[in-house]
Amino acid sequence: MIGAPAYLAPLFVEVALTVALLLWAGVRRVNAVLDGTVLPRDVSLRQPNWPTDIAQIANAYQSQLELPVLFYLVMVLSLFTARGSTSLLVLAWAFIATRLFHALIHVTTNHMGRRFYAFFAGSMILLVMWIFFALDLFIGP
């Protein structure tokens, strides 16, 4: 079993990415309202009336609240069941790399094809993580 600090490092990177996007989107939204670019009544019910660049950042943040939930779960479960492994840790870092790349695409070019491939790669890595965890849990090393 890998030590908890090393094993939890990828989770902290994912949390940092999520919080950074949240703060970035929040600051940009507040500034847009304060400078009159966006009127509160035009967005108060989640209407999609934010400028494109702000919407991209907010969408990148929202994306960190979807697929990564399964990542957090497999990592925490594997830690608490003492099933953490080097393989799972390497896959965790690969997953984090795809999330960072996905977010970078989201807030820059927002090229849907590239963004999809980053999402798909992360999804497949996460699937493999769950398979490794399940096999280790139910069958053993």
pTM of the model: 0.93
What would the pLDDT profile of 34-85 be if each residue is shown by its tens digit?
999 999 999 999 898 999 999 999 999 999 999 999 999 999 999 999 898 9
Percent of the chain's residues with pLDDT above 70: 99
Q: Measured between alpha carbons, how far is 122 from 91 in angstroms, rounded to an integer?
A: 10
Helix 4-34 crosses helix 68-80 at what angle (to 10 degrees)?
A: 150
Through-space distance between the first and last CA atoms of the chain, rounded to whole angstroms: 11
Which CATH number is associated with domain 4-138? 1.20.120.550
Q: How confident is the model at residue 17 (pLDDT cuts 50, 70, 90)?
A: very high
Q: In the predicted model, what is the mean pLDDT of residues 26-31?
A: 97
Burial (CB count <10 Å: 0-12, 13-18, 19+), residue 41: exposed
In angstroms, the CA 64 to CA 44 distance is 22
Neighbours of 9 (CB within 10 A): 14
Q: How far apart are CA 72 and CA 78, in angstroms?
A: 10
Contact 115, 106 (CB under 8 A): yes
Mean pLDDT of the chain: 94
Q: So where are the chain's domains?
A: 4-138
What pLDDT score was predicted for residue 7? 86
Q: What is the mean pLDDT of residues 94-113?
A: 97
76/105 Cα distance (integer angstroms):
28
- How sure is the predictor about 5, in pLDDT bands with cuts at 50, 70 and 90? confident
**pLDDT confidence of 1, banded at 50, 70, 90?**
low
